[in-house]
Structure 1
């Protein structure tokens, strides 16, 4: 696969494709989306008093994400800017409809399914747009800034949605979300046109999708990055219930505050890493940086499992978050560079695998914690991460050995 990134242009890299407008659009969209999700979750539980109903809401959100490869393939055939605008407007209409009609549970699930289907198209389209507008030397910095904006949007959106749902009513949070989608669509519409790289492909859509996935499998280094990314997501998800049990039950003085501090430590570490990516030579995306990021993340998870106090858990969480941010930006950048004319398809396929791995790991983690306890669960997670790090390391070593002298 060939590098889809454009050549470097004169002036600061962030002027390419009007990147600040795009970053602002993604921040608005993510903030509104998390506000709506938080508000809907609170509303569904208050209305049904059923944990199963809340699980149904999350299941509907995950289901479309399993078709990420197909969704990503659209951005290889259509201007990703147009896809982003269209999907933002569809999502806006959905949440306005929910807010104004206050439908029952079944109708909420159906409408959320529509919105999440649009979001499934949006994620790979956004990464394809970045790959095609940002010069290769600045790609990691752009991805790092976008991940930082996304992390801030997740945190602020969840807080806004929860507060709005409990004080004003869930429909107001949904209207805020709808407004954020309108603003996001307006900003994206102001970006320059991004030609699709496969708009003249005369093959059928499914045939082109199969061909793109075949090229990913044959590119051993890109495939290794994809496998490592999905595997690390699975390993990290196993620890999710372990962190709750460790901070709430096993540590003296543990409380809801302890769990919140641990999550804050992860977020802070990831935010620092994403902002540093590409600025320091040691954090330039490469197979070595990917392996190092996964190793740092594994060390953080092991540290949390061995931590004797809440403070030590928070430190381990910050280390894990730093490794997670480093690994995330590096993997995205390497996959964007390798994607070539199938960059949207590649990113969509990896996102689908990651969502499935996250859901499976979370379910399995509860069983492992119940059988072995939280500390051994953290150890298992760290061991799985090291095994995942070996995949890109081995692929890079083989590539160096086979390279002509």
Structure 2
């Protein structure tokens, strides 16, 4: 009998993990819109929105520490705990109606749990699927992340208009509970860390060990540096896009909405394309060409004479960004031993947030309101320079993944099981 090519249909454990991610990410996208709307209607609205965005962002800088925790404990238990913590936080927000400062504290707790989930989640795919399925699996996860941006805000806006912001926040709490329930049905994924140190000192020591691994692993170092600098320059797109639409192209709010949507739609399309096309492609070239087209799209956006030309250029950038994200995850999984993957992945996430933060802080000096095209030129050229700097390190990547020790093989009742399924004893 022919093997089913569609990974979601073929691999029960991965399907459950993907559904868990898609459900909670869409809920998160809706909740962020609802939170901003909630605080924007109260006293000190401007300060409130800033504090909420900071509360959501600051915990992301502790990715290496979250990764150390992920490498020390059983992954499934940690993922479920993180989802339940977030469900509890949003339930409290809905039921208790906290004031601004209490709300900020609750968002910090939820963002911290999300940071831990992100670091632990990066270790799941290489332990669930076989090596040929790594890139298709990451492409499927890419669609879940892109749906967060494409569907979540629309859902949050509609629910907030219909039931008020707390309706969207309640949906988010429910989404975390559904995600936790789905995660109970994936393999346990016990810790693979060889460290014996316990307590906070041991956790900090493991964090330092992870950072030393990044420093000594040329491929991981190049990926993280490329992401840091690439996101720094790419964030100029977010700053300048509204001014390009309203001032340079004279298309107003409608033009800005179309331009913003085009990037996200292209990211979804690129992930869906890679779901079918990724299996026999090199993650090295997927990663590098993805960043190349991201830079090209931003550079060409600067020269777009009319709205629809700018939409086409933004779609080129979005396609590149979606492809690069899938290549990045797969490359990291191949280049980094799974027992330190949480820490390295946490460092990668922190690098991205640092890049965007520095980009938003520094981008204001470029006067994007009066010179939006210049901002896009600098963004595209900066990505090309970053690519030239980091590509040699990425090109040294190994083409085979680092093997990881696991539990004894067990039977899997799936009709077309993978070797990883058997190793981990997945159940339907």
Distance (Å, rounded) in 2 between the aligned partners of 1:314 and 1:104? 41
Instruction: Indicate which of 312, 316, 319 corresponds to 2:316.
Output: 319
Task: Name the counterpart of 2:220.
Answer: 222
Alignment of 1:291-310 (within 5 A): 291-310=288-307
Distance (Å, rounded) in 2 between the aligned partners of 1:284 and 1:72? 29
Decide whether aligned partners of structure 1 residues 282 and 89 sit closer, same or farther in structure 2, where only a CA change above 3 A counts.
Answer: closer
- 1:332 and 2:329 aligned: yes
Cα-to-partner distance string for 1:217-257 (whole Å, 9 max, x where unaligned): 111122111111221111110121211100011113x1212
Alignment of 1:206-221 (within 5 A): 206-221=204-219
Instruction: Indicate which of 341, 346, 349 corresponds to 2:347.
Output: 349
Cα-to-partner distance string for 1:123-169 (whole Å, 9 max, x where unaligned): 11111111221222111111111111221133222122222223312
- 1:92 and 2:95 aligned: no
User: Structure 2 unaligned runs (5+)?
Assistant: 399-428
Secondary structure of 2:190's aligned partner: coil
Secondary structure of 1:47's aligned partner: coil
On the 8 A contact 1:22/1:187 being kept in 2, the answer is: yes
Decide whether aligned partners of structure 1 residues 255 and 371 sit closer, same or farther in structure 2, where only a CA change above 3 A counts.
Answer: closer
Task: Name the counterpart of 2:106.
Answer: 111
Give the Å deviation of 1:373. Answer: 0.6
Decide whether aligned partners of structure 1 residues 50 and 139 sit closer, same or farther in structure 2, where only a CA change above 3 A counts.
Answer: same
Cα-to-partner distance string for 1:267-290 (whole Å, 9 max, x where unaligned): 122122222226436982433332
Task: Name the counterpart of 1:367.
Answer: 365
Decide whether aligned partners of structure 1 residues 156 and 370 sit closer, same or farther in structure 2, where only a CA change above 3 A counts.
Answer: closer
Task: Name the counterpart of 1:7.
Answer: none
- 1:134 and 2:154 aligned: no
Task: Name the counterpart of 2:264.
Answer: 267
On the 8 A contact 1:283/1:326 being kept in 2, the answer is: no
How many corresponding residue pairs? Answer: 390
Secondary structure of 1:30's aligned partner: helix
Secondary structure of 2:116's aligned partner: helix
Distance (Å, rounded) in 2 between the aligned partners of 1:258 and 1:136? 43
Decide whether aligned partners of structure 1 residues 17 and 71 sit closer, same or farther in structure 2, where only a CA change above 3 A counts.
Answer: farther
Decide whether aligned partners of structure 1 residues 288 and 318 sit closer, same or farther in structure 2, where only a CA change above 3 A counts.
Answer: same
Secondary structure of 1:192's aligned partner: coil
On the 8 A contact 2:246/2:255 being kept in 1, the answer is: yes
Task: Name the counterpart of 1:251.
Answer: 249
On the 8 A contact 2:135/2:278 being kept in 1, the answer is: no
On the 8 A contact 1:258/1:310 being kept in 2, the answer is: yes
Task: Name the counterpart of 1:67.
Answer: 62
On the 8 A contact 1:83/1:125 being kept in 2, the answer is: yes
Give the Å deviation of 1:49. Answer: 5.1
Distance (Å, rounded) in 2 between the aligned partners of 1:288 and 1:24? 28
Alignment of 1:181-200 (within 5 A): 181-198=176-193
Secondary structure of 1:277's aligned partner: helix
Task: Name the counterpart of 1:394.
Answer: 392
Decide whether aligned partners of structure 1 residues 172 and 384 sit closer, same or farther in structure 2, where only a CA change above 3 A counts.
Answer: same
Distance (Å, rounded) in 1 between the aligned partners of 2:45 and 2:275? 46
Decide whether aligned partners of structure 1 residues 49 and 209 sit closer, same or farther in structure 2, where only a CA change above 3 A counts.
Answer: closer
On the 8 A contact 2:149/2:264 being kept in 1, the answer is: no
Distance (Å, rounded) in 2 between the aligned partners of 1:43 and 1:319? 35
Task: Name the counterpart of 1:18.
Answer: 13
Give the Å deviation of 1:339. Answer: 2.1
Decide whether aligned partners of structure 1 residues 392 and 136 sit closer, same or farther in structure 2, where only a CA change above 3 A counts.
Answer: farther
Decide whether aligned partners of structure 1 residues 106 and 363 sit closer, same or farther in structure 2, where only a CA change above 3 A counts.
Answer: same
Give the Å deviation of 1:392. Answer: 3.3
**TM-score (normalizing by structure 2):** 0.86
Distance (Å, rounded) in 2 between the aligned partners of 1:172 and 1:199? 45
Task: Name the counterpart of 1:241.
Answer: 239
Of stretches 341-350 and 74-83 in structure 1, the one that deviates more from structure 2 is 74-83
More helix by share: 1
Give the Å deviation of 1:11. Answer: 7.1
Secondary structure of 2:187's aligned partner: coil
Distance (Å, rounded) in 1 between the aligned partners of 2:84 and 2:386? 39
Task: Name the counterpart of 1:165.
Answer: 160
